[in-house]
A and B are shown apart, each in its own frame.
Chain A
Amino acid sequence: MTKENIFKTYLEDPLLIEKEHISKEKIDKLKFIDQTGVKLIEVIKLAINGCVDGESEGVTSRKINQYLNR
């Protein structure tokens, strides 16, 4: 599975729309490369990147933390 494939499966989760992180129209058009500014989605991307690239869990976790600390 490509990173984008995995990303798309996460975008299907109803919680994203339910908790109003992002609208349905935007989700349909979203590509992995797009910068969304939506924290949850960016975190998902960081995790997918780290996981597929073989990063250690600790490193990915730290990146996520740093992103959210801003």
Chain B
Amino acid sequence: MLSRTAANLYWTGRYMERADFLARLVDATTGLAGLACTYGGELADAWASALAASSGQASYRKLHGELSQPAVVHFLTLDPANPSSLRNCIGRARDNARTVRAAVSLEVWEALNDAWHAVERFGAAGLPSARVSDLTQTARHAVMAFDGSAQRTMMRSDAYWFLQLGAALERGDNTARLLDQKYHLLLPGEEPVGGALDYFQWSAVLRTVSGLPTYHLVYCDEVKPWLVADLLIFNPQMPRSLTACYRDALMFLGQLGEGAVESAPAARLAAATMEGLTRSDIGEVFGSGLHEFLSDFIVDNNRLGSAVAEQFLFPEIPEWSLR
């Protein structure tokens, strides 16, 4: 497969995953902010933390200064000036696929094209708050249509693996950042969450990753930060956990590596991170500091992204051809 094609598919996968994350983040934070008003928390805290989870604080501050719910929602969803807004993510996913149109199935292309036209219809200005959930629902359904059409119609060949690899790396990054935003709320030991607000904070985290029912099913327990972190880091059955993301990434890299196994720096890096996850547990993570653990993970995950780029997406011209 052409390296440029692979790069575009990888980024299509990443941007669609990011769009999905942003839609979920806006939904969950809207819910949380509403509760914050009711239970005496700071509305702005909820949105500050959502901004941080999307790594958009700096550019938000430059564009808007003061935190306000409508401004943050606009920034995260439709703002053309935010390169990582929901609208821009879907637009870029589509542009990337459009440039390599023949590499994806017609159904996948239609899903991306429909996604773009559906989001574009909301315009670029801020939405009245009552319409925000229309937008996030539209985006979430669009991503599901994209995932579903890829799953149902694409050949299991390199194009598919690059699309999925991009999504897996992005998903791991999102989960780690989301969790890192709440680490300061984590209480030592297995203590239950303090007040109603803390409970809703953690519920919001779980909601962002569609994890609330899963949590109840797995732990049969009230929401405890300690267990939330366990679920999102270590549980291989939880599709957005770091472990699950790396298990998937390793599988995709394995599919891509056939034929060129001896020089597979990306797969080696991913295997090392996966081994770290397998050897550790939540007790150890808390012992050495959750924030440090998550920061290290984010750095490693970025390094894996660079290794994928070097190995597949922008390869050096090999020596033999220079003869």
Report if A and B associate in a common complex: no
